[in-house]
Structure 1
Amino acid sequence: MRVLVVDDDPVSLLVAKAAVERSGHECLTAPDGDAGWRLYQDHRPHAIVTDLMMPGLDGLALCRAIRAAETDSYTYLILLTSLGARDD
């Protein structure tokens, strides 16, 4: 499975990449939503793990763009946040 991890925090990005690869999956990484969008278009990963708050295209906007672009495939989306409120 090809997994794209998108996070503007370099440490979180490395930790997530290591976890994905330890699980036996191919991992692509992007430091922000704009780069994540480009990698999605180029590689069509099976799953995306993305941070909510990032410069440029944020995680929610990235998820919306992916859903709008999908026609014949499905990408699993996991949206992460360090925000602590239930509404977040």
Structure 2
Amino acid sequence: METVYIITFSSTNSSLMLYKILKDSKMKVTMIQTPCKLSAGCSRALEIKQLDLSKAIEKINNFNIEIQSIYKKFINPKTRRYEYLEISC
């Protein structure tokens, strides 16, 4: 399974703005419902592949997009459930 990252937001507007910026930059990005484990705020999050993570962080900084956090998504081998690890950017 390819490593993916989830970007969470405190506002829907920020999620839509970053989604458009990343799509316009020809990056593969998927808008998903924010996993309940991660946030009770905005219900939209973006999922990107590890290959595009550094470019996405660059766009976030260049366009001053307000994000809540970025999480690495992985499967816990003991429980076989998705787990999320917050990363610093």
TM-score, normalization: structure 2?
A: 0.38
The structure carrying a bigger helix percent of its residues is 1
The structure carrying a bigger strand percent of its residues is 2
| Larger RCO: 1 or 2 (CA < 8 Å, sep 6+) | 2
